[in-house]
Structure formats: C-alpha cells, structure tokens
Amino acid sequence: MAKVLLGFMGAGKSTIARGLDPDYLDMDALLEERLGISIANFFAEKGEAAFRQIESDILSDLLKTDRVVSTGGGVVVSQRNRDLLKQNPDNIYLKADFDTLYQRIAADKDNQRPLFLNNSKEELREIFQERQAWYEEVASRVLDVTKLSPEEIIEELR
C-alpha cells in the first residue's frame, strides 16, 4: 500500500516525502515525464479534463506500489481521483492554514507555481478552501504542519 502525501501547494509534500524515503515517487514529475511537457503547458494546450484523465491513470498505478507518494496539490479536484484515494488506507493530509501556505509559496523563488502566478491572493484562498474539504474527505490521517519543522513532521510520520 502506498503512503500518499496530500495537501495544498506549500504544505511540504515533496520535502516530507524525500525525508521519509529518498526514493519517493513524485507524481508531478511522473506526470511531466509521461506528458513530455510541463504540466502548465499541457493544461494550456489540452485543457484540464485531458490532464485529469492522465493524472488519474498515474494515481491508479502509484496506489498499487509500496512507496511514499508526493501528489500534486490539485489531485483531489477530480472525483475519480478522490474515489481512488478512498480505497488507499494510508493518505496523509499535510494541513496548514492559508496564510502560512501563502507565505511559503511566495518565498519559494525556485518553484514559481502557475496557480500562484496567475491568481490573486483571494482567488487562491478560494481554491484552497474548496480543496480543503476534499483533502479531508480522502485523508486517513490529518497532520497540522503549520508550526512543525520538516524534521518534526517526518518524525511524527515514521
């Protein structure tokens, strides 16, 4: 069974996955590998529906592994993905409040996310609030990471 890390961008999914298992599976990286172009470019060229279909196929494959999986922040948008995730017994929602996440995203100059660049703070807050219910719907465990260091989160999940 896969150990799946869920959460909004800036929650630390990739950082925590790397700390739990250096050979973790990064869903966004696997998607870009399969697509042959960046997720942002694929979205622009083919649209969200086409992207979510491929995302679901990859998620289905990843859930069959015994690996740590870092998902993209939007994986819960698709009902099919939520249904797949509900069948997995080890989904961890790395939860933080919006303002903390926004500060982390804004400070991360190495990873400029299209969703962050193309939306106002209020639009981003609305996206966050919509997704929050979906993360909680599929999570088998919710861990509030707002005030925890990556090391503390990794220790908590071991």
Q: Which residues are annotated as a binding site for ATP?
A: 10-15, 113
Q: Which residues carry a binding-site annotation?
A: 10-15, 28, 52, 73, 113, 131
Q: Which residues carry a binding-site annotation for Mg(2+)?
A: 14
Q: Which residues carry a binding-site annotation for substrate?
A: 28, 52, 73, 131
Return phi, psi of residue 119, to 5°: -130, 150
In sequence order, the 6+-apart residues with CB closer than 8 A to the CB of 70 are 5, 13, 14, 16, 17, 18, 24, 25, 26, 27, 28
Q: How many residues does the chain have?
A: 158
Contact 4, 82 (CB under 8 A): no
CA distance 85 to 24: 18
